[in-house]
Structure 1
């Protein structure tokens, strides 16, 4: 079975993706990125999970690139907006060219370790806001990364057409504990329950009639 590099943020989607790859028998290498995100605590979650599973895990510091990836509320420029992903204000969470940069670095890592593919957690719920999570982007990145080196590397997004509830359904089938993940865009002690990421996560659990195991701030 071919080795897979999973871009692993420590969030709900990539956590499910990591376990999905393992469930299919792939040897997995996890790759995480510190790009100056406010919710850097998601990287702590990623480290803990990989340590417990014995998965090789690299955390790459790319904060030096902030000057060319500026303008996002996720990296501390302005308030994190509250509400649904469909709202116009959520566009402030776009980090310029983030996934192209991360996929390029992950492809280089894949070539280095002899992996045949890079998986990342783009999903259908991201399409309204994030251009670098849409099918057209994924298809073109896949085409480029197959010819960018002597060794072809595929770019795969198994959840490309799934919503958050469907991703959670996959994780529930795998028996996953989502208390081991962090989703909130605010890097506080508890999840805020108000940002788009929290709202979408809570809606997914509600769709399954379940309570999210994460601790949330009390709402006024």
Structure 2
């Protein structure tokens, strides 16, 4: 089965790329410039495609960021520090982002003769992002069956949709993912900040998985305080 992967260059999607490649199913990597505040992640996605010797498709949706305003990922809005599951992280929602990206990826997959489109949405995202939830992925798969009926049969693969971030680290490690060659931090500095929600979640995931974290964090110990604060407020 030939599978096109929507890949941001982050830990989740690069891990899934290596899992699919190990299974001999990775056909291509599709990434998006949607006008995000920093594009470091795209360099890591391109690097992943080169490493795994598959085509890399960079789709230019850069004009979209101005229209999808109000998110800390597209506007001049401060990225909050702290645990990923905090209500404050809702400021990182980009409305309908996954629906938009997956629609384009399905079009590319149909044109290229692929059998599936994969995305690395996972259970830890359900609290904040509606387009990472099983209800969305099930409905989207049904919509695409109708959209391509009679032209192509393309499955939506979301193997991590019920998994934790630690589960992804475990799966990625088993597939030989070079975690140091992934990017998670929303702040886009020279190093992972160690303080934003996605850095805290990343550091916690390695800890829970029992896998050494090779990431260079500007504040490598903040995650413990963030988790303690979250637990105290739960």
Distance 1:86 1:218 in 2: 19
* Equivalent in the alignment of 1:16: 15
Distance 1:33 1:157 in 2: 18
Structure 2 counterpart SS, 1:146:
helix
* Equivalent in the alignment of 2:163: 162
Moved more, 73-82 or 158-167: 73-82
> In 2, are the aligned partners of 1:71 and 1:96 still within 8 Å (CA)?
no
Q: C-alpha displacement at 1:36, in angstroms?
A: 1.8
Distance 1:110 1:164 in 2: 27
- Structure 1 stretches lacking a partner, 5+ long: none
1:203 paired with 2:204, answer yes
> In 2, are the aligned partners of 1:32 and 1:43 still within 8 Å (CA)?
yes
1:214 paired with 2:205, answer no
TM-score norm. by structure 1 comes to 0.95
> In 1, are the aligned partners of 2:31 and 2:42 still within 8 Å (CA)?
yes
Q: C-alpha displacement at 1:140, in angstroms?
A: 0.3
1:148 paired with 2:129, answer no
Q: C-alpha displacement at 1:147, in angstroms?
A: 1.7
* Equivalent in the alignment of 1:123: 122
RMSD (Å), alpha carbons: 1.4
What's the CA shift string for 1:169-219, capped at 9, x where partnerless?
101112221001001001100000011110000001111334421211146
Structure 2 counterpart SS, 1:161:
coil
- Structure 2 stretches lacking a partner, 5+ long: 223-234
Count matched residues.
219
Structure 1 counterpart SS, 2:147:
coil
Moved more, 14-23 or 123-132: 14-23
* Equivalent in the alignment of 1:55: 54
* Equivalent in the alignment of 1:133: 132
> In 1, are the aligned partners of 2:3 and 2:26 still within 8 Å (CA)?
yes
> In 2, are the aligned partners of 1:80 and 1:186 still within 8 Å (CA)?
yes
1:190 paired with 2:223, answer no
1:178 paired with 2:154, answer no
Moved more, 183-192 or 202-211: 202-211
Distance 2:59 2:213 in 1: 29
**Paired residues for 1:89-108 under 5 Å:** 89-108=88-107
TM-score norm. by structure 2 comes to 0.89
> In 2, are the aligned partners of 1:111 and 1:151 still within 8 Å (CA)?
yes
Structure 1 counterpart SS, 2:146:
coil
Q: C-alpha displacement at 1:41, in angstroms?
A: 0.3
